[in-house]
Amino acid sequence: MNLRAKVFMGGLIGGIVLSAVLFGPAGYGKEPVWVPVEEPVKKPIRRYYKSGKLFSEKFYGNAASEWTIKEYREDGSLRSETPYKDGEREGIVKEYYESGKLRSAISYKKGKRDGPSKAYYEDGRLKGEMAYKSGAIEGALRYGGPELPEEATAGKNGQER
């Protein structure tokens, strides 16, 4: 997918009003390049599809090193929410079905999967769950139908046993 991104960042940063428009190819699944700032930004930074519809928003937290990116489908429905800290995923990354229902919730710590990861059917039933520690699968992987009938376990190196 080709995307012509427009990034508008407004606000007083170190006495300078910064306004930027960036154009170039990008798409879902690629890491965006964001304008670095030293202080928290009060307004979200937005990127748009070529059609002019919203593609993503970047919201800063209490510090410039903390932000959340929300990505949208061209129809306007929320695709994902990803929290970052110090440039790495930190917290629960959520992906959504076009209907707006939660598709998955994956825990990250310092850019690696760490903690519970869950996937859901569109009707809200649990599809599967697994645990991670520092990016490696740890413990039981449960997957299958509504009652998660199948189970496998993994050791510290993530290999199934």
Residue-wise pLDDT tens digits, 66-76: 999 999 999 99
Q: Is residue 71 part of a domain?
A: yes
What pLDDT shows up at residue 150? 56
Q: Is residue 15 part of a domain?
A: no
Q: Is residue 44 part of a domain?
A: no
| Number of C-beta neighbours around residue 146 at 10 A | 10
Q: Is residue 114 part of a domain?
A: yes
Most confident of 31-40, 91-100, 133-142, 151-160: 91-100
Mean pLDDT across the chain = 75
Residue-wise pLDDT tens digits, 75-92: 999 999 999 999 999 999
What end-to-end distance do the CA atoms of the chain give, in Å?
A: 40
Mean pLDDT value of segment 105-111: 96
Q: Is residue 42 part of a domain?
A: no
Q: Is residue 13 part of a domain?
A: no
Q: What is the domain range of residue 69?
A: 50-154
Q: Residue 13: pLDDT band by 50, 70, 90 thresholds?
A: very low
Q: Inform me whether the pLDDT recorded for 152 exceeds 50.
A: yes
What pLDDT shows up at residue 96? 98
Mean pLDDT value of segment 17-24: 29
CATH number for the domain including 113?
A: 3.90.930.1
Which amino acid makes up residue 88?
E
How many helices and strands, by DSSP H and E, does the chain display?
A: 0, 14
How many distinct structural domains can be found in the chain?
1
- Tokens at 109, concatenated: 């710590």
What pLDDT shows up at residue 138? 87
Q: Inform me whether the pLDDT recorded for 58 exceeds 70.
A: yes
The share of the chain scoring above pLDDT 90, in percent, equals 50
| Whether the model pTM is above 0.95 | no
CA distance linking residue 128 with residue 142, whole number of Å: 5
